[in-house]
A = this chain, B = another copy of it.
Amino acid sequence: MRPSGRAADAMRTISVETNFTKHAEGSVLIGFGDTKVLVTASIEEKVPGWMRNTGKGWVTAEYGMLPRATHTRGSREAAKGKQSGRTQEIQRLIGRSLRAVCDMKKLGERQIVLDCDVIQADGGTRTASISGAWIALRLAIDGLLAQKLITEDPLFQQIAGISCGIYEGTPVLDLDYIEDSNAEADANFVLLGDGRLAEVQATAEGAPYDEEQLLRLLRLARIGCDEIFAAQRKATGR
């Protein structure tokens, strides 16, 4: 029995509020249950130095957590003067995931920065970030297309992330905070709309896992991502 009473293969409610802020070229407040992440997409008409004059664009991400997004207040990374290893690991993952579905040539020599800021945390913030970032990116690119700044759509697939894990011996979908902090193993999957994989990160926390369990977790991830893909399409009118 899961603490939330959910079935092993049940997602939490996905909530999506697009255009949550007004300045960004794309913005969304995405929720997986009580996990709420504000994602904005900012278009910059220049690329990092090492990409200049390649004719290609770049998509990157930054991740942050408001100090009191969590049960007990965490210290502010800006005040500490550095981003934790965890933060850097997460923002690298988000950027890599979004780049996996974006054709940099079609994007042209511009950069899109996805800022994922966790307003409230209850497990799964990195996968909610990826899932929301796709929406913000979609909206930003739709703007570029509408303004005819680009002519071909560079975003060739949907992408979504979901966490699964082995909780009290049972593989379950979409861990919340209580499950996450007690799971024997914890896996994040990033899937494309066509079912292929961009990323698997499966980590033994309390106990090693076997191949069959890994596959069961992947099957749960497919169930969750299908639900996220539908929410993404509804939010962006695709």
Task: Give the CA-CA distance A77 to B192 in the complex, in Å.
Answer: 32
| A83 touching B92 in the complex, CB below 8 Å, given contacts A42-B68, A200-B200, A201-B201 | no
Verify if A11 is at the interface (C-beta below 8 Å from B): no
Residues of B within 8 A of A89 (CB): 85, 88-89, 92
Verify if A203 is at the interface (C-beta below 8 Å from B): yes
Verify if A120 is at the interface (C-beta below 8 Å from B): yes
Verify if A16 is at the interface (C-beta below 8 Å from B): no
Task: Give the CA-CA distance A22 to B68 in the complex, in Å.
Answer: 9
Verify if A234 is at the interface (C-beta below 8 Å from B): no
A interface residues with partner B (beta carbon < 8 Å): 21-24, 27, 34, 36, 38, 40, 42, 44, 62, 64, 66-73, 76-89, 91-92, 96, 100, 113, 115, 117, 119-121, 187, 192, 194-204, 208-211, 214-215, 218
